[in-house]
Structure 1
Amino acid sequence: MHAIRLHAFGPAENLTYEQVEDPVPGPGQVRVAVAAAGVHLLDTALREGMQGPLPELPALPTVPGREVAGTVDALGDGVDPSWLGKAVVAHLGFAPGGYAELAVTDAARLHEIPGTLDPAQAVAMIGTGRTALGIAQFADLGPGSVAVIPAAAGGVGTLLVQYAKNAGATVVGLAGGPDKTARVEANGADLAVDYTDPGWPGKVRAFLGGRPATVVFDGVGGDVARETVALLGPGGRHLVFGWSAEGIRDGKAYLVDGVSEQVLGPAMLARAGGPDPLRTLELRALAEAAAGRLTPAVQRFPLAEAAAAHRALQTRRTTGKVVLEP
């Protein structure tokens, strides 16, 4: 099979498209003929040799990627034979291997893809979708809510705009540049604003006509976070799930006592509930997409162009979930 391999930590150019041996599923595992593989900002950090939230860096050489969708083409011992030939999606957890034509994972991680979704959309929902719904648990949204969403053209932001609109909130979506703001407007935001325009906070205040924001969904940090927090009224909440503007290496979330709350990790899982909270969120995400209530935005790259996908993601030239297709 063909796969993307990383032989040395470093720049995107270190991702190489190679012919490698086909993986073989072990007991309790399946092999998936990959139709779509998700690319995450964390993948770029791991490629550079930054451990991030993972227990340890993978041994090199490695095939990156932790989200796949495709068709089960081989079974390991002990796996229900009914999985063979099914269209599935899975988050591989801490195990790498997704940037490939074939990937192996535990059968327990599989979800059958709802018939309304293509593999790229399913990949978007299994990772980005579960994150968006995990974040949304912290916001009590309703018709009186005003939600401000930085990076509203991104994978998580796109879904949060839809979620907030479905709840009846007034939604202000922020994005960088006219192309992205046009996408945010088309996605249903009541106001789409270019945050590279120094005067954007005034435009938001004018649109709201004196109403304060009630919640900020912040995955950006930096100056954008400072300006959005200033839009909040008494009792407003700043829900922090990232700080891409500060840089993934040395960034620190912008936090304000009594206002800001970091919503990833144990707090998110505790709210999700169930014996496997991440799987609970995955099931919810796939169900929301299958019902048409959430529609992920996807930007597709050929598998062989994984390096270009990483560069585009790191320089914020992507919209929606980045997906590699063999």
Structure 2
Amino acid sequence: MNAVRLHAFGPAENLSYERTPRPVPAPGQVRIAVAAAGVHLLDTALRQGVQGPPAPLPELPTIPGREVAGTVDALGPGTDPAWLGRPVVVHLGFAPGGYAEYAVADAQRLHPIPPGLDPAEAVAMIGTGRTALGILQFADLGPASTALVPAAAGGIGTLLVQYAKNAGATVIALAGGPAKTARAAANRADLAVDYTEPGWPDTVRAHHPDGATVLFDSVGGPTARAALGLLAPGARHLVFGWSDGPLTLTDAERAGLTARGITTQSVLGPVMLRRAGGDDPLRLLETRALAEAAAGRLRPALQRYPLSEAAAAHHALETRGTIGKVILEP
């Protein structure tokens, strides 16, 4: 089969498109003929050899990728034969192998692809969708809410905007560049602002002088620092990333936030899973995300690349040259 392999940690160019044997499913596993594989920012960090929570570094050589959708074409011993020939989507967890024409997965982690979703949409919801719904557990959105969404044209940001609008909230979308702000506006954001332009906070204040009630912060750094000044008293600051670097505040700024009753909360990892509840909270969030997409309430934005162009996809993602969820298609 054709696959993308990594033989040495380093830049995107280290991803090699080559021939390799098809994987063989073990007991309780299936093999999937892959139609779509998801590319995550974490994949780019692992490719560089940077271990980030919670994924460990893979052993080399490796086939990256942890989100796949396609059709079950082979079964391991003891696997339910009902899976054979079914369109499925799965998050592989810490097991890589997604950037390939075939991948293996534990049958217990599979989800049937709901009618009306193509494999790329299903892949977006199994990873990015479950994360978005996990974050939204903490937002308590409604008609009285004003949501401030940086990176609003990204995979998670797109879904946050849609969910907030469905809840009746007012949405202020922040995105980098005219193409991304146009995409956020087309996604029904009430105000789409280019945060690469000087004075962008003044634009937000002019339209929403009362401030936002929730900040969905995936960026950190200077953007988040400016966005905190746009929050109303008693607002929530939900942190789930730091693509612009860590958020640094002076003692005076921290005191000002405290005086205004603004609550900052990290909603990653165990915190998100505890809120989801159940015996398998990740699977619960995956199921909810797929159901939201199947019902048409959430629709992921997608940027598709051929599997052979995985290096280009990584480079574009790292340099913020993508819109929506990045997908590789064999």
- Tell me the TM-score normalized by structure 1: 0.97
**1:56, distance to aligned residue in structure 2 (A):** 2.6
Whole-Å separation in 2 of the counterparts to 1:307 and 1:223: 29
What fraction of aligned residue pairs are identical, expressed as a percent? 73
Q: Say which SS state the counterpart of residue 159 (structure 2) adopts.
A: helix
**1:259, distance to aligned residue in structure 2 (A):** 2.3
Q: Which position in structure 2 is the counterpart of 1:144?
A: 144
Q: Which position in structure 2 is the counterpart of 1:260?
A: 264
One-letter amino acid of the counterpart of residue 136, structure 1: L
Change (3 A) 1:49 1:228: same
Q: Which position in structure 2 is the counterpart of 1:280?
A: 284
Q: Say which SS state the counterpart of residue 244 (structure 2) adopts.
A: helix
The C-alpha deviation readout for 1:134-173, integer Å capped at 9, x for no partner, is 0000001110101000000000000000000011110000
Confirm or deny that 1:186 pairs with 2:214.
Answer: no
The 5 A counterparts of 1:170-319 are: 170-208=170-208, 210-246=209-245, 252-253=246-247, 259-319=263-323
Is the contact made by 2:225 and 2:247 (CA closer than 8 Å) also made in structure 1? no
Change (3 A) 1:116 1:254: farther
Whole-Å separation in 2 of the counterparts to 1:178 and 1:214: 26
Count of residues in Structure 1 that have an aligned counterpart in Structure 2: 320
Is the contact made by 1:225 and 1:254 (CA closer than 8 Å) also made in structure 2? no
Whole-Å separation in 2 of the counterparts to 1:95 and 1:39: 14
One-letter amino acid of the counterpart of residue 319, structure 1: I
Whole-Å separation in 1 of the counterparts to 2:320 and 2:51: 21
One-letter amino acid of the counterpart of residue 172, structure 1: I
**1:212, distance to aligned residue in structure 2 (A):** 1.4
Change (3 A) 1:19 1:168: same
Q: Say which SS state the counterpart of residue 164 (structure 1) adopts.
A: helix
Is the contact made by 1:30 and 1:104 (CA closer than 8 Å) also made in structure 2? yes
Confirm or deny that 1:322 pairs with 2:315.
Answer: no
Is the contact made by 2:56 and 2:94 (CA closer than 8 Å) also made in structure 1? no
Whole-Å separation in 2 of the counterparts to 1:44 and 1:164: 29
Q: Say which SS state the counterpart of residue 31 (structure 2) adopts.
A: strand
Q: Which runs of 5+ in 1 are unaligned?
A: 247-251
Whole-Å separation in 2 of the counterparts to 1:298 and 1:253: 29
Confirm or deny that 1:153 pairs with 2:153.
Answer: yes
**1:253, distance to aligned residue in structure 2 (A):** 4.4
The 5 A counterparts of 1:53-92 are: 53-54=53-54, 56-92=56-92
Whole-Å separation in 2 of the counterparts to 1:275 and 1:56: 24
Whole-Å separation in 1 of the counterparts to 2:117 and 2:198: 39
Whole-Å separation in 1 of the counterparts to 2:169 and 2:199: 24
Is the contact made by 1:89 and 1:112 (CA closer than 8 Å) also made in structure 2? yes
Give every structure 1 segment of 4 or more consecutive aligned residues whose post-TM-superposition deviation is greater than 6 Å. Answer: none
One-letter amino acid of the counterpart of residue 283, structure 1: T
One-letter amino acid of the counterpart of residue 37, structure 1: A
**1:52, distance to aligned residue in structure 2 (A):** 0.6
Whole-Å separation in 1 of the counterparts to 2:276 and 2:77: 32
One-letter amino acid of the counterpart of residue 99, structure 1: Y
Is the contact made by 2:222 and 2:247 (CA closer than 8 Å) also made in structure 1? no
Is the contact made by 2:24 and 2:104 (CA closer than 8 Å) also made in structure 1? yes
One-letter amino acid of the counterpart of residue 41, structure 1: L
Q: Which position in structure 2 is the counterpart of 1:249?
A: none
The C-alpha deviation readout for 1:61-93, integer Å capped at 9, x for no partner, is 000000000000000011110100000000000
One-letter amino acid of the counterpart of residue 223, structure 1: P
RMSD: 1.0
Q: Which position in structure 2 is the counterpart of 1:38?
A: 38
Q: Say which SS state the counterpart of residue 245 (structure 1) adopts.
A: coil
Change (3 A) 1:321 1:55: closer
Confirm or deny that 1:13 pairs with 2:13.
Answer: yes
Q: Say which SS state the counterpart of residue 97 (structure 1) adopts.
A: coil
Whole-Å separation in 2 of the counterparts to 1:2 and 1:10: 21
One-letter amino acid of the counterpart of residue 259, structure 1: T
Q: Which runs of 5+ in 2 are unaligned?
A: none
The C-alpha deviation readout for 1:286-321, integer Å capped at 9, x for no partner, is 000000000000000000000000000000000000
Q: Say which SS state the counterpart of residue 244 (structure 1) adopts.
A: coil
Q: Which position in structure 1 is the counterpart of 2:28?
A: 28
Whole-Å separation in 1 of the counterparts to 2:95 and 2:205: 45
Whole-Å separation in 1 of the counterparts to 2:58 and 2:89: 22
Whole-Å separation in 2 of the counterparts to 1:176 and 1:160: 17
**1:54, distance to aligned residue in structure 2 (A):** 3.6
